[in-house]
Amino acid sequence: MGKDYSIGIDLGGTNLRVALVSRDGLVVDRTKVSSSGDLMASLTSAIQSLFNSGAGGIGLAVPGLVDAKRQRILRAPNLSILETIDVSSKLTARFGVPVFLENDANSAALGEMYSGAGKELDTFVLLTLGTGIGGAVIYKRKLLDVAGELGHIVVEANGRQCGCGARGCLEAYCSSRAIVEITREAMDSGRPTSLGLLGSPVELAGATGGCHSLQAITPKIIHEHSLRGDTLATEVLKQAGWYLGIGIANYINVFSPEAVVLTGGLTGAWDVYVKEAIRSASERAFKTLFQKAGIIRGIHGDNAGVIGAASMAFLQGSVES
Ligand SMILES: [Zn+2]
């Protein structure tokens, strides 16, 4: 009898998301536990709650640098305990199945390739648009085994300071963190905006009409204000999208992908942020390459990482057919 399921785990700094995934790439069951406390104990019990006799492998999506060949976690800044534990050996010993490790953005790309937006594609670039910007490249149905720091290509020489230490990175202009920072800077300089003065649209619709604290401003709120006609909110999102388009044009010109697959919370602002990115990319990428490359949304959303992690067991043939 073959094994028809695999366990996929997305190791986040806040939560561990664990899913039982079927061979056709669907999440059959899932659970979420906090990553604080005894990580191995939480992980083991979460896996145990979903593990069944049909599960033939465990895959982990790791927020950091992974030596996938040797199955070691080299660096995980947001979950550094992982650097000191041999997770792979411990889980193999406990559950008696092969364990696979992969970087989280790589896992998301594998998930979209396995059963999502990239199912029918040979070559695509995936970007995760969130607090930071990550990404991965699937080249001819294989994960390109490179550093893949797609958020740290330079789109503005001598530009904004990036968390990586360099200046002008894509991430310093179009991540959630950057969008909020740029908005705050504009507000601090006295630019008029409904963000600071009028409260959220919810408050406007209701009765309270209070002010946002600056800490409470999120890209989602900025997008809501943009939709209600706030000039600053629209400008900030469009500028972020404009830079994103420069990045996308670079990826298109280098990899000639069939698609650039966008995932992450910022895709919620598709009508302003991504639309501007597509326009900006169209002006910069080689025309024939741009026409070939669709700029599309990922299908799996938050599940891409767990599906991709689980898919490694299927893709590497460790799960018998
Ligand atoms: Zn950077």
Each residue of 285-296: pLDDT tens digit?
Answer: 999 999 999 999
Tell me how far the alpha carbon of residue 170 lies from the centroid of ligand 1, in angstroms. Answer: 7
CATH number of the domain located at residue range(s) 120-298 in this protein: 3.30.420.40
- Which residues are paired to 16 by β-bridges? 11, 33
Do strands 99-103 and 55-62 pair parallel, antiparallel, or not at all (unpaired)?
Answer: parallel
How many C-beta atoms surround the C-beta of residue 269 within 10 A? 24
How does residue 93 score in pLDDT terms, banded at 50, 70 and 90? very high
Calculate how far, in angstroms, residue 79's C-alpha sits from the geometric centre of ligand 1.
20
Give the distance (Å) from ligand 1 centre to CA of residue 199.
33
Between 303 and 65, where is the model more confident?
Answer: 303
Give the pLDDT confidence of 201-213 residue by residue, as tens digits.
444 444 344 455 5
Distance 59 CA to ligand 1 centre (A): 28
Instruction: Kindly give the distance from the C-alpha atom of residue 189 to the centroid of ligand 1, in angstroms, as a whole number.
Output: 25
Q: Give tens-digit pLDDT for 196-250.
A: 754 444 444 443 444 555 458 999 999 999 999 999 999 999 999 999 999 999 9
Are the C-beta atoms of 212 and 242 separated by less than 8 Å?
no
- Report whether 60 contacts 106 (CB < 8 A): no
Q: Pick from 81, 70, 69: which is nearest to 11 by CA? A: 81
Q: Regarding the domain delimited by 5-111+302-315, which CATH topology (the fold level of the hierarchy) does it fall under?
A: Nucleotidyltransferase; domain 5 (3.30.420)
Contact in structure between 151 and 132 (CB atoms under 8 Å):
yes
Interacting residues of 59 by C-beta distance below 8 A, sequence separation 6+: 6, 7, 8, 9, 99, 100, 101, 102, 107, 308, 309, 310, 311, 312, 313
Whole-angstrom distance, CA of residue 197 vs CA of residue 150: 36
**How many angstroms does the Cα of residue 168 sit away from the middle of ligand 1?**
7
C-alpha of residue 91 to centroid of ligand 1, in Å: 34
- DSSP codes of every residue in 145-201: -S---GGGSBSSTT-SB-TTS-BSBTHHHHSHHHHHHHHHHHHHTT---HHHHT--H
Give the distance (Å) from ligand 1 centre to CA of residue 255: 21
Q: What is the distance in A from the centroid of ligand 1 to the CA of 148? A: 12
For residue 129, report the distance from its CA to the centre of ligand 1, in Å. 14
Predicted TM-score (pTM) of this structure? 0.90
Domain boundaries, the chain: 5-111+302-315, 120-298
Ligand 1 mean position, distance from CA 155 (Å): 10
